């Protein structure tokens, strides 16, 4: 059996395995990244000292790092959205 024949005979098997692996991967990724409360996982790259400080603060406040970040981010996001909306409204009101 030549290399070309071997490749041709294994191609359908490889494609089937690939389809199964990618379908399982995508299903598990979408299911595995949410919690029972509907929260989703997000990966962030932070300075090691920031991570260390966040973890220490979470312990001091008897909470989780995730809960602490969410508690701090929600008000900031609301202010940001209000500024963004106000900026769009004022831009729409300008005449050319």
Nearest partner of 72 among 54, 51, 59, judged by Cα: 54
Q: What tens digit of pLDDT does each residue of 24-61 get? A: 544 444 555 667 788 899 999 999 999 999 999 999 99
The residue segments making up the domain with residue 63 are 46-96
Domain annotation covers residue 61: yes
Domain annotation covers residue 37: no
Domain count of the fold of the chain: 2
pLDDT at 89: 80
- Whether residue 51 is found in the same domain as residue 95: yes
Q: What pTM did the predictor assign?
A: 0.56
pLDDT at 2: 56
- Whether residue 96 is found in the same domain as residue 69: yes
- Whether residue 22 is found in the same domain as residue 55: no
- Whether residue 19 is found in the same domain as residue 63: no
User: Which residue do the tokens 């990244």 mark?
Assistant: 33
Element holding 51 (H helix, E strand): helix 48-60
Alpha helical stretches, state H, the chain: 3-32, 48-60, 65-93
- Residues 65 and 59 sit within 8 Å (Cβ to Cβ): no
């Amino acid at each position: 059996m030549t290399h070309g024949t071997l490749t041709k005979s294994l191609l359908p098997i490889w494609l089937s395995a690939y389809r199964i692996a990618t379908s399982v991967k995508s299903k598990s990724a979408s299911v595995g990244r949410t919690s029972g409360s509907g929260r989703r996982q997000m990966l962030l790259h932070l300075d090691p000292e920031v991570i260390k400080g966040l973890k220490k603060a979470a312990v001091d406040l008897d909470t989780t790092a995730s809960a602490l970040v969410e508690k701090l981010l929600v008000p900031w996001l609301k202010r940001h959205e209000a500024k963004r909306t106000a900026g769009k409204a004022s831009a729409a009101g300008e005449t050319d």
